[in-house]
């Protein structure tokens, strides 16, 4: 009996030592950087210790094994909490080829260089930069919303890949959130959808410390979070003291036993340090503590006051014996099962491997439609629908939906067996996000991070609502497909509230995002071919509502030129032009019509279709100059959008026919006339350039 009590006391002491190591590493790193947020990292140390050491299915030696649990630090400013864990648990680095060279993801030197150039410990966690970081966080609310996508991915993959005696996927998604996450609207959107879908594999942990940067949350946030989440259909459990390891363990067990809804665990914490004047203050939350305060706090922990970045050997051993041992056993058992799975279900096993390594299955591009020349043409959205359905048949893990606009964006998968993803049918490939553009973007990121190939759609005007998540998809270099229709004043009678003007320019401004605005149905096909081969770039596919003439490719250049971002669609007979007309999307055919009339007048013109600035800029200088020869300075761009940015292609003396104001409510033809998108206007602009 006495021996058992002593063992329990030893265990408690070791647990407290481990927790305090997380805390002191966080304090020391923030102080060394003279920048950062130590409070939350210190307050939540017992919570993450309990989760990682006793529940999280995660192997530090293989942080990307497919069925691992996901842990998302939505409160990204508490990044040292995660970096301390990654170091203490010995998480190994993984390179871009999915290889593990054996080095630590986060070394003690990285922690000492917290927030410094080239450290693996940047100010906020960054996916790809630091192994063990499941998603880039920083903008509050993004992490929890992204975790919903991860939970959906687990549900879908379990339905698709699992077979009797082969549970290939059943992982859980955990996210640690704070008051800021709860205030941001994106978390409400995501929580509402998660409750609707009854995602019982999703657990959010809410650090209820009542502190934000400005001070006490009572200044701006007094709602009853627990009642709100119960209204969403979540299970809500509370831990009255974030230091109570027994209650924390009980709360996680409740989550694991909950089978019909997601779980919100509210952990009450109090940011407090060695001296009373540091307790519960905004400065303590968002600034280094100072050397004297750190000494006092370490004294409270019975920690050597003058030691910095101290990691006791028994703490490393504790984590090796806990998450290290358990995680390795789980990971090894999964791969052993996978070897048997490969023999019994070779096709599924091959698909699983290809999905996890972002490869495409054989025959992914078979049966793609070809569109004959047609003056009446096809709307971009309609052509895209046919291509998307053909591709989705061939790529089983291509799935997505829209923000309640699938009938308008034409993004519904209609082939037999596609189905709808619902709480009682997680095998469905049509996702329904509701009118939640921001959460949709974040959830798409979570799906992509889980190696599903996701798409989401809406009107281009509403890309504003999704922009933060789109930006993060580019920052993380993940191949999310953002489909936007109703791409111009072509929306017509809906008026300027629904007519995008500045949106193309704003999307083109995001580094790493590929924008594609195809000019006819066959360019749409080629655009999708480009999209499917992308592995590290998200894309914004911009499509028209109105019909676009399908160009005669026996007369004009093949649409395969889309792959290079810009190509010569029509040219002067000699190949040497006097004036260049360039456009994207619906305005390409307008330039072709102008070209034919100029040609009839003996004027040597060239038409350049530029569906993607980014892809064009990826080409070598020789190719770019062959399309846009520097010596031809008479240039006109035509696009039913802001002219911002077109100077890079038309030059300072060129002419851009575009939108310089917002649109108006009227039928399309009247709008085209009002804003100058007529053949005669393009011809006049070209002749004016020639006169220069």
Catalytic residue among 184, 189, 437, 526: 437
The per-residue pLDDT for range 609-653, each reduced to its tens digit, is 999 999 999 999 999 999 999 999 999 999 999 999 999 999 999
Pairing assessment for the beta strands 655-659 and 579-583 based on DSSP bridges: unpaired
The tokens for 124 are 């906020």
Contact 411, 457 (CB under 8 A): yes
Domain that holds residue 537: 374-549
Same domain, 250 and 145: yes
Q: Considering the domain boundaries, does residue 643 fall inside one?
A: yes
Helix, strand, or coil here: 394?
Answer: helix
Domain assignment present for 72? yes
Domain end position, chosen among 332, 362, 384: 332
Same domain, 272 and 149: yes
SS3 letters for 195-251?
HHHCCCCEEEEEEECCEECCEEHHHCCCCCHHHHHHHHCCEEEEECCCCCHHHHHHH
Is residue 157 packed enough to be buried (19+ CB in 10 Å), middle (13-18) or exposed (0-12)?
Answer: buried
| Residue with token string 């085209």 | 672
Is residue 72 within 8 A of residue 174, CB to CB? The reply is yes
**Residue 575 pLDDT:** 86
Three-class secondary structure of residue 370 per DSSP = coil
**Distance, CA of 45 to CA of 62 (rounded, Å):** 23
Could you report how far apart the first and last alpha carbons of the chain are, in Å? 99
Helix (H) or strand (E) holding 53, with range, is helix 45-54
Q: Which of 549, 582, 598 is the last residue of a domain?
A: 549
Q: Average the pLDDT over 396-402 and give the result.
A: 97
For residue 99, how many C-alpha atoms fall within 13 Å in the half-sphere facing its CB?
3
Could you give the angle at the alpha carbon of 199 between the alpha carbons of 198 and 201, nearest 5°? 145
Q: Give yes or no: residues 522 and 594 share one domain.
A: no
Which of the four pLDDT bands, split at 50, 70 and 90, describes residue 281? Answer: very low
Contact assessment for residue 516 and residue 485, using Cβ atoms and an 8 Å cutoff: no
Based on the domain organization, do 539 and 634 belong to the same domain? Answer: no
If we measure between CA atoms, which residue out of 85, 120, 159, 191 comes closest to residue 443? 191
* CA atoms of 513 and 536, how far apart (whole Å): 10
Structure confidence at residue 9 as a pLDDT band (50, 70, 90): low
State residue 314's pLDDT score: 96
* Continuous segment of H or E residues that includes residue 353: helix 346-356
Residue closest to 516 by CA, chosen among 377, 659, 380: 380
Band the pLDDT of 493: cuts 50, 70, 90: confident
> Other C-beta atoms within 10 Å of 381: how many?
23
Residue 109 lies in a domain: yes
Q: How many domains does the chain have?
A: 3
Confidence at residue 420, expressed as pLDDT on a 0 to 100 scale: 97
Query: Burial level of 257, CB count in 10 A (0-12/13-18/19+)?
Result: exposed
pLDDT of residue 197: 98
In angstroms, the CA 542 to CA 482 distance is 9
Report the residue count for the chain: 692
486, 588: one domain = no
| 211: confidence class by pLDDT, cuts 50, 70, 90 | low
80 and 160 belong to one structural domain:
yes
Assess whether 467 and 442 both reside in one domain. yes
**Span 585-612, mean pLDDT?**
97
In the predicted structure, residue 109 carries a pLDDT above the cut 90: yes
Average pLDDT score over the chain: 93
Residue 142 has pLDDT above 50, yes or no: yes
Give the predicted TM-score (pTM) of the model. Answer: 0.95
Q: Which residue has the tokens 């992509």?
A: 448
Model confidence at 581: pLDDT above 90: yes
What pLDDT is attached to residue 505?
97
What's the rounded Cα separation, in Å, for the pair 47 and 56?
12
Contacts of 249 (CB under 8 A, 6+ apart): 50, 54
DSSP 402-425: ESS-HHHHT----STT--B-BTTB
The mean pLDDT of 268-287, rounded to a whole number, is 53
Residues 312 and 181 both lie in one domain: yes
Structure tokens at 440: 């949709």
What are the structure tokens assigned to 680, written together?
Answer: 């005669």
Dihedral of alpha carbons 507, 513, 519, 521, sign: negative
Residue 149 Cα distances to 83, 446, 530, angstroms: 23, 4, 24
Please count the CA atoms within 13 angstroms of the CA of 53 that sit on its side-chain side.
Answer: 26
What pLDDT, on a 0 to 100 scale, did the predictor assign at position 270? 75
554 in a domain, yes or no?
no
Residue 287 known to be catalytic: no
- The reply to whether 218 and 72 lie within a common domain is yes
Cα–Cα distance between 368 and 293 in angstroms, integer? 66
Q: Say if residues 33 and 22 touch (Cβ distance below 8 Å).
A: no
pLDDT confidence bin for 271, thresholds 50/70/90 = low
Q: Which run of H or E residues covers position 580?
A: strand 579-583
Residue 327 counted as domain residue:
yes
pLDDT at 25 over 90: yes
Q: Above 60 in pLDDT, residue 272?
A: no
CATH number of the domain enclosing 687: 3.40.50.920
Same domain, 80 and 213: yes
Last residue of a domain, one of 493, 517, 549: 549
Q: Is residue 225 part of a domain?
A: yes
Q: Is residue 354 in a domain?
A: no
Same domain as 147, residue 33: yes
CA dist 8 and 6 (Å) reads: 5
Give CA–CA dist 446/480, Å, rounded: 10
The one-character DSSP state at 103 is -
Same domain, 175 and 227: yes
| pLDDT above 80 (res 77) | yes
How do residues 415-469 score in pLDDT, each as one tens digit? 999 999 999 999 999 999 999 999 999 999 999 999 999 999 999 999 999 999 9
Is residue 352 in a domain? no
Phi, psi of 493 (to 5 degrees): -60, -20
User: For residues 583 and 566, what is the distance between their CA atoms, to the nearest angstrom?
Assistant: 9
Output the domain CATH number for residue 541.
3.40.50.970
Query: Residue 214: what pLDDT?
Result: 67
| Percent above pLDDT 70 for the chain | 96
Query: What is the CB-side half-sphere exposure of residue 61 using CA atoms within 13 A?
Result: 12
Q: At what angle do helices 679-691 and 587-600 cross, to 10 degrees?
A: 60
């Amino acid at each position: 009996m006495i021996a058992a009590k002593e063992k329990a006391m030893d265990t408690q002491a070791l647990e407290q030592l481990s927790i305090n190591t997380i805390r002191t590493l966080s304090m020391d790193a923030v102080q060394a950087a003279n920048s950062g947020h130590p409070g939350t990292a210190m307050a939540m140390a017992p919570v993450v210790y309990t989760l990682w050491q006793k529940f999280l299915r995660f192997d530090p030696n293989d942080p990307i094994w497919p069925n691992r649990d996901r842990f998302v630090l939505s409160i990204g400013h508490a990044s040292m909490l995660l970096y301390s864990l990654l170091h203490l648990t010995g998480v190994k680095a993984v390179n871009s080829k999915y290889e593990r060279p054996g080095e630590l993801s986060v070394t003690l030197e990285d922690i000492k260089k917290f927030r410094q150039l080239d450290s693996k410990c940047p100010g906020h966690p960054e996916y790809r930069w630091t192994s063990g970081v499941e998603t880039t966080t920083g903008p509050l609310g993004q992490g929890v919303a992204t975790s919903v996508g991860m939970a959906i991915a687990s549900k879908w993959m379990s339905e698709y890949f699992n077979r009797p005696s082969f549970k290939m996927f059943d992982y859980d998604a955990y996210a640690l959130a704070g008051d800021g996450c709860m205030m941001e609207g994106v978390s409400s959107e995501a929580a509402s959808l998660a409750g609707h879908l009854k995602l019982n594999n999703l657990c959010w942990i809410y650090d209820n410390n009542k502190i934000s940067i400005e001070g006490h949350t009572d200044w701006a946030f007094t709602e009853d979070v627990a009642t709100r989440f119960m209204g969403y259909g979540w299970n809500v459990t509370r831990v009255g003291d974030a230091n109570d390891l027994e209650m924390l363990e009980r709360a996680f067990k409740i989550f694991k036993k909950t089978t019909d809804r997601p779980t919100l665990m509210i952990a009450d914490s109090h940011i407090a340090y060695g001296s009373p004047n540091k307790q519960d203050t905004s400065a303590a939350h968002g600034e280094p503590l100072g050397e004297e305060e750190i000494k006092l706090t370490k004294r409270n922990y019975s920690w050597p006051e003058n030691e910095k970045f101290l990691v006791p050997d028994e703490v490393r051993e504790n984590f090796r014996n806990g998450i290290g041992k358990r995680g390795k056993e789980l990971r090894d058992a999964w791969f052993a099962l996978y070897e048997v799975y490969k023999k019994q279900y070779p096709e599924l096993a091959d698909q699983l491997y290809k999905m996890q390594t972002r490869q495409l299955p054989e025959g992914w591009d078979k049966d793609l439609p070809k569109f004959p020349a047609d003056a009446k043409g096809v709307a971009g959205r309609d052509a895209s629908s046919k291509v998307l359905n053909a591709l989705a048949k061939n790529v089983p893990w291509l799935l997505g939906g829209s923000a309640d606009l699938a009938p308008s964006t034409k993004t519904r998968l209609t082939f037999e067996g596609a189905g709808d993803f619902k709480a009682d049918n997680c095998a469905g490939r049509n996702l329904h996000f509701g009118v939640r553009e921001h959460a949709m973007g974040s959830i798409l990121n979570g799906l992509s991070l889980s190696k599903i190939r996701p798409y989401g759609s809406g009107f281009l005007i509403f890309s504003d609502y999704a922009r933060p998540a789109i930006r993060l998809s580019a920052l993380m270099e993940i191949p999310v497909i953002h489909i936007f229709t109703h791409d111009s004043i072509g929306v017509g009678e809906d008026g300027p509230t629904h007519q995008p003007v500045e949106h193309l320019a704003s999307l083109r401004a995001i580094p790493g995002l590929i924008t594609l605005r195809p000019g006819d149905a066959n360019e749409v096909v080629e655009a999708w071919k480009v999209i499917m081969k992308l592995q590290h770039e998200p894309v914004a596919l911009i499509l028209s509502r109105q019909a676009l003439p399908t160009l005669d490719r026996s007369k004009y250049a093949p649409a395969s030129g889309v792959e290079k971002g810009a190509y010569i669609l029509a040219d002067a007979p000699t190949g040497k032009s006097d004036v260049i007309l360039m456009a994207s999307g619906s305005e390409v055919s307008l330039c072709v019509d102008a070209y034919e009339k100029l040609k009839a007048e003996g004027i040597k013109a060239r038409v350049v279709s530029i569906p993607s600035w980014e892809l064009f800029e990826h080409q070598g200088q020789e190719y770019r100059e062959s399309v846009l020869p520097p010596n031809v300075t008479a240039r006109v761009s035509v696009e039913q959008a802001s002219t911002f940015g077109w100077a890079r292609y038309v030059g300072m003396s060129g002419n851009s026919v575009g939108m310089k104001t917002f649109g108006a409510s009227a039928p399309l033809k009247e709008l085209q006339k009002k804003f100058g998108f007529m053949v005669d206007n393009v011809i006049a602009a070209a002749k004016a350039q020639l006169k220069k």
